[in-house]
Structure 1
């Protein structure tokens, strides 16, 4: 078997996994406000090493960072919501965080389809 073909198949498999993880993050964002994004997060951590040296590695890092920043902003919104006086600001932060994460997922998905590494 041609070694170049094997490398192409491996890269395509890595790309397909990243694609599925983007979809899982997006479904979680839409249906649970991101509550189930910890599942693709764990998979990204486990499989990121397999993608070392490829553009797909940056997509795993992009997804991991997106998860933790989204978690930070959602937690900040919860703290403001609990304080009562910050309820309007909490909603603004939650909506902003949701839009920001949706943007990151769309950008990552588009760059993955174009075989481009993410700027991390």
Structure 2
């Protein structure tokens, strides 16, 4: 006699858990000072892969938020690295880092309150 088990309601991570994971990976990459740079790449790959599954939900805006934050942050950090040759890159790099941290915190707090992140400027 075989025992039949009911199917699980949900396999894997929920969209909410996945979004927390993405924010966590980005935070780990930032807090490690680039030591865990692959964590940010993994976060972006996850965001791109699951963005279609999240369409029409509040999580889709979080995925877009994270993707924009990553690419704009990467651009400003790269430009700041180039600007270090004329000695202003440290200032612009610091501004870029503060902006990235601000967006990460703002997005994660919006997720905790079940809202979409909204850019104010």
TM-score w.r.t. structure 1 length? 0.82
Change (3 A) 1:69 1:22: same
2:52 pairs with one of 37, 46, 49 = 49
CA distance in 1, matches of 2:77, 2:37: 10
Q: Which residue of 2 aligns with 1:3?
A: none
SS in 2 for 1:97: helix
Q: Which residue of 1 aligns with 2:97?
A: 98
SS in 2 for 1:61: helix
Structure 2 counterparts to residues 19-38 of structure 1, below 5 A: 19-33=20-34, 35-36=37-38, 37-38=40-41
CA distance in 1, matches of 2:31, 2:89: 19
Q: Deviations over 1:68-118 (max 9, x none)?
A: 01001011012112xx3x22x100111111111111111101000100012
Q: Which residue of 1 aligns with 2:64?
A: 61
Q: How many residues align?
A: 108
Per-residue deviation, 1:66: 0.1
TM-score w.r.t. structure 2 length? 0.81
Per-residue deviation, 1:119: 2.7
Structure 1 portions without partners, runs of 5+:
1-5
Q: Which has the higher contact order (CA 8 A, sep 6+)?
A: 1
Per-residue deviation, 1:51: 0.5
Q: Does residue 109 of structure 2 align to residue 110 of structure 1?
A: yes
